[in-house]
Amino acid sequence: MDKQLEPIVQDLQEKFGATLEEFRGEAHVFVKPEQIVDALTLLRDTYKFELLSALTATDYWPQSSPRFHVIYQMSSLAENVTVQIRVPVSGDQLKVPTVTRIYDVANWREREVSDMFGIEFEGHPDPRRILMPEDWKGHPLRKDYPLGYEEPQFTFNLEEIDLRKPYAKE
């Protein structure tokens, strides 16, 4: 971990009871969903993390608590350090407060996460789907969502597959 990052992580640990994991020099700080707004506000205002580089999630299905981690990758331009904030979300309580009031970029990124994973961001100003069509059901990047495929047709089973192939209907 970066030397400059140590006091920042310590502060997060004291204020939010955050836990720290390190891997290959990266610092991953775990906070609870209800603390995320305060944690990011602290990072932006006190420690000059101006850039929310990435906001994404990862699914640990079939594990249910926590089922998801929402990941906030933060960059400080002035100090040139990065820190990753991770928020564990349990499978029956799919709610995280929105951070759109802190970073504008979170608007689209949170829409993407809720589109792909079905995590609700409470207080989001524009909670529509962003990449999938508006009328889509399901959340494609969840682990229990199957990867779609098309059955390959050969001469011997061409007609048989043709019958059950989902063509656009009139």
Partner 1 sequence: MAQIEEVNVDQFRHLVSERALTGETMLLNMGPQHPSTHGVLRVLLELDGETVINAIPDIGYLHTGIEKNMEAKTYLKAEVMTDRLDYMNPIGNNLAYAMAVEKLVDLDVPLRAQALRVILTELQRIASHLVWLGAFGLDLAAMSVFLYCFREREIILDIFEMCAGQRMMTTFVRPGGLWRDVPVEFEAAVRNFLKIFPKRVDEYEALMTKNPILMDRLVGIGKLDAATALSHGVTGPTLRASGVNWDLRKARPYMGYEQYDFNVPTRTEGDTFARYIVHIEEFRESMKIVEQALNKLPMGPVNSDNRKFVPPPRSEIGVSMEALIHHFKLWTEGFPAPKASVYSAVESPRGELGVYLEGDGGSKPHRVHMRTPSFDNLSVLDKITKGHLVADLVAILASIDIVLGDIDR
DSSP line for 22-65 = EETTEEEEE--GGGHHHHHHHHHHTT---EEEEEEEEE-TT--T
Rounded Cα distance, 105 and 17, in Å:
27
Minimum distance between the CB of residue 14 and partner 1, rounded to whole angstroms? 25
Q: Which is nearer to partner 1, 126 or 160 (CB)?
A: 126
Which are the contacts of 48, defined by CB distance < 8 A and separation ≥ 6? Answer: 76, 77, 78, 79
How many residues bind partner 1 (CB under 8 A)? The answer is: 44
First to last CA, the chain: 60
* Among the residue ranges 8-16, 31-39, 71-79, 154-162, the one whose residues contact partner 1 (CB under 8 A): 71-79
* Among the residue ranges 8-16, 88-96, 104-112, 150-158, the one whose residues contact partner 1 (CB under 8 A): 104-112
Minimum distance between the CB of residue 166 and partner 1, rounded to whole angstroms? 5
Rounded Cα distance, 44 and 76, in Å:
8
81-89 vs 68-76, strand pairing mode: antiparallel
**Residues 3 to 32: which contact partner 1 by CB under 8 A?**
23-24, 26, 28
| CB contact at 8 A, 99 and 33 | no
129-168 mask for partner 1 (x: CB under 8 A)? xxxxxxxxxx-xx---x-x------------------x--
> What residue ranges bind partner 1 (CB under 8 A)?
23-24, 26, 28, 50-54, 56, 58-59, 71, 73, 77, 80, 82, 84, 103-105, 107-109, 112, 116, 125-126, 128-138, 140-141, 145, 147, 166
